[in-house]
Amino acid sequence: MHRRLRVVITVAAAAVSLAACGGSGGDNAALPGSPDAASSAPAPSATASAATSPSAAVLSSYLGFWDALIAANTASDPALPALAAAAAEPQLGKARKAIRVNKTQGVSLRGTVTHKPKVTASSPASATVEDCYDVSRWTPVDVKTGQKIDVTEANGTGRYRARYTLRRSGGGWRVTDQVALGGC
């Protein structure tokens, strides 16, 4: 059970790479990953965002990545097309690996993740987003029983800081990497 919980927390906190709960920064899963199919703050549509500003388009794509990540975790489906549309390697592989591990162990992550993202760098080809996100309401659930799995993280708050790299892909942006920055 300890191993299962460690993976779940690494995924949630990692959103992909969170080094929470004993996870290391080396092979972090995206989830964390990061931390349901909708963030608490609705993402603006890509069309409206692109018309408003390049930063708004980046943030919309970033929050869309989280929507896809949460949906894939909820469904225990690492092949969810929305995930591939929102992420690219190596982040896509990290997310899929974490979801597969959880699926094998009969665990799904369900609930919501809240965000406080901001674009910290942007060029025509790439952008960086730093976020303080809260996964305390993104709960591991036993798929067979539907029961929540109690996970306790020593001194944990469920809030993590991370830096995400996005690359322009076609007319939008895709998350390609994530670096854990600790708590927030």
What pLDDT does residue 134 have? Answer: 97
pLDDT (tens digit, 9 = 90+) per residue, 104-147? 999 999 999 999 999 999 999 999 999 999 999 999 999 999 99
Q: How many CB atoms lie within 10 A of CB 163?
A: 16
Nearest C-alpha neighbor of 172 from the set 74, 27, 69, 45: 45
What pLDDT does residue 54 have? Answer: 87
pLDDT (tens digit, 9 = 90+) per residue, 47-89? 343 446 889 999 999 999 999 999 999 999 999 999 999 999 9
Instruction: Report, as an integer, the average pLDDT of 90-96.
Output: 98
3-state secondary structure (DSSP) of residue 153: coil
**What predicted TM-score, i.e. pTM, was given to this entire model?**
0.75
